[in-house]
Amino acid sequence: MAKRRDFIKKASLASLTALLGSKIVFGESMLEGYRPLFLDQNDPSKLFGKHKDMTVLNDRPWNIEAKAHLLDDEITPASKMFMRNNGIIPDKPDSESWTLTIDGESVSKSRIFTIQELKTRFRHYTYQLTLECGGNGRSEFNPPAKGNQWTVGAVSCANWTGVRLRDVLEDVGIKNDAVYIGYYGVDRHLSGDAEKVVISRGVPMTKALQDETLIAFQMNGEDIPLAHGYPLRLIAGGWPASASGKWINRISVRNIEHDGPKMTGDAYRVPCEAVAPGSVVSSENMCIIESMPVKSLITYPRSGATLEMDNVLEIRGHAWAGELEVNRVDYSTDFGTTWKKAALRKPKNRLAWQHWKASIQFPKKGYYEVWARATDSEGNSQPMVVPGWNPKGYLNNACHRIAVKIV
């Protein structure tokens, strides 16, 4: 005989209501254990093909980060790539009819390219490029900063294929007074107002004209996933990832510092001079973040790993330093008292993260922490404590650490 099924319990209904964000009309008629369809439609692994252990920080807009051990791959696959959206991801556009307009005060004559024209007219380049959200690590600041509470996982390093922005700009012809480029994408504003631009940031000409600055149409050898900017994306590796516009249909060459939304005010800016935690800083004293600071991650083992005493622990991870190269990575097992050098590889190309590894023999059983610290080519190394507090919680490049138990 079939087991009698019970109607849903009050407590379960209440938690489902909280998850869905609205009252479930006729909810009392659901059976206990019934899973409303909406939950599956809202599941990042189903919606975006994300790994099931990725952390969802927000779903309006979608902001998802990796855990350190999920970033173990040398080249970040889409499934483990963090997602940061300031607005609503557009519906999948038709790439055949998509165009990119190059305009602005500093072009002689604006031009419109189809993707096909970009692909046939200009040479293709592939680079592995580090994209880290300016706010990665924000959750550790005290007093806390508003915004997504990223821990360590808002960083990726995938292969991006496209044409050089420089080649396109040279073809269009830029005037001598050009100082900045600004991108425009087609994501929609959270307010629903179709006129409002979500985010329009950019980079100075020196960065725009670098070899590795791409107008990309592929990621890891395939079409860019919708959530990461399909069908066209600007990629400016080593800078806050907010400079790498998704779903772009326009790039303006400006004769002033670009002034689009989230380029001005306090967005993606830090105090030009260090300030005491909690200080109020006026907008004139906030400077635009350019190259990201030196940083590293321990991606293997995962924090909390348990290991038998007789075994050697192989640890590994990545290190990157914005526009610079990483010169060395050290690790400590005694809370930063002594450091040993890890083996470090060269980057695959400029602006790609570098892989490092080390083998550790622990002296006795017990609890340890392994800390990693990278040093860049100008001698800057990661701080052991959270660095320079700033009002918006950017640029936390403190040493990453993991817990290990030796039994």
Binding site for Mo ion (CB under 5 A): 84, 133, 242
Residue among 403, 374, 407 nearest 130 (CA): 374
Residue 246 near which of ligand MTE, Mo ion, none (CB within 5-8 Å, type-dependent): ligand MTE
Residues in contact with 142: Cβ distance below 8 Å, sequence separation at least 6, in sequence order: 277, 386, 389
Residue among 244, 255, 117, 100 nearest 174 (CA): 255
Nearest CB to Mo ion, comparing residues 136 and 333: 136
Residue 87 near which of Mo ion, ligand MTE, none (CB within 5-8 Å, type-dependent): ligand MTE
Residue among 307, 193, 183, 181 nearest 244 (CA): 183
Nearest CB to ligand MTE, comparing residues 242 and 299: 242
CA distance 91 to 158: 23
- Which DSSP category does 114 fall into? E
Q: Which of 130, 213, 242, 327 binds ligand MTE (CB under 6 A)?
A: 242
Q: Which of 145, 215, 241, 372 binds ligand MTE (CB under 6 A)?
A: 241
Nearest CB to ligand MTE, comparing residues 166 and 188: 188
Residue nearest to Mo ion (CB): 133
- Pull the structure tokens for residue 403: 């817990």
Alpha carbon 135 to its chain's center? 9
Residue 81 touching ligand MTE (CB under 6 A): yes
Q: How far is the CB of 66 from ligand MTE (least distance, A)?
A: 10
Site for ligand MTE in 145-174 (CB under 6 A): 156
Q: Which of 122, 150, 247, 371 binds ligand MTE (CB under 6 A)?
A: 247
The DSSP line for 337-352 is SS-EEPEEPPPSSTT-
Q: How far is the CB of 137 from ligand MTE (least distance, A)?
A: 13
Nearest CB to ligand MTE, comparing residues 85 and 252: 85
Q: How far is the CB of 274 from ligand MTE (least distance, A)?
A: 24
Residue nearest to ligand MTE (CB): 185
Residue 296 touching ligand MTE (CB under 6 A): no
The label of the residue with tokens 């975006």 reads 48
Encoded one letter per residue, x for contact with ligand MTE by CB under 6 A and - for no contact, window 117-146 reads --------------x-x-------------
- Pull the structure tokens for residue 244: 């790498």
Q: Which of 69, 138, 207, 246 binds ligand MTE (CB under 6 A)?
A: 246
Task: Report yes or no: 82 and 70 within 8 Å, Cβ to Cβ.
Answer: no
Q: Which stretch, 52-60, 81-89, 277-285, 355-363, contacts ligand MTE (CB under 6 A)?
A: 81-89
Residue 185 touching ligand MTE (CB under 6 A): yes
Task: Report yes or no: 394 and 139 within 8 Å, Cβ to Cβ.
Answer: no
Task: Report yes or no: 313 and 178 within 8 Å, Cβ to Cβ.
Answer: no
Residue 391 near which of Mo ion, ligand MTE, none (CB within 5-8 Å, type-dependent): none
Task: Report yes or no: 371 and 360 within 8 Å, Cβ to Cβ.
Answer: no
Q: How far is the CB of 133 from Mo ion (least distance, A)?
A: 3
Residues in contact with 175: Cβ distance below 8 Å, sequence separation at least 6, in sequence order: 105, 106, 107, 108, 253, 255
Residue among 321, 299, 264 nearest 370 (CA): 299
Total residues found in the chain within this entry? 407
Nearest CB to ligand MTE, comparing residues 131 and 324: 131
Sites of contact with ligand MTE (CB under 6 A): 81-87, 131, 133, 156, 185, 187, 198-199, 228, 241-242, 244-247
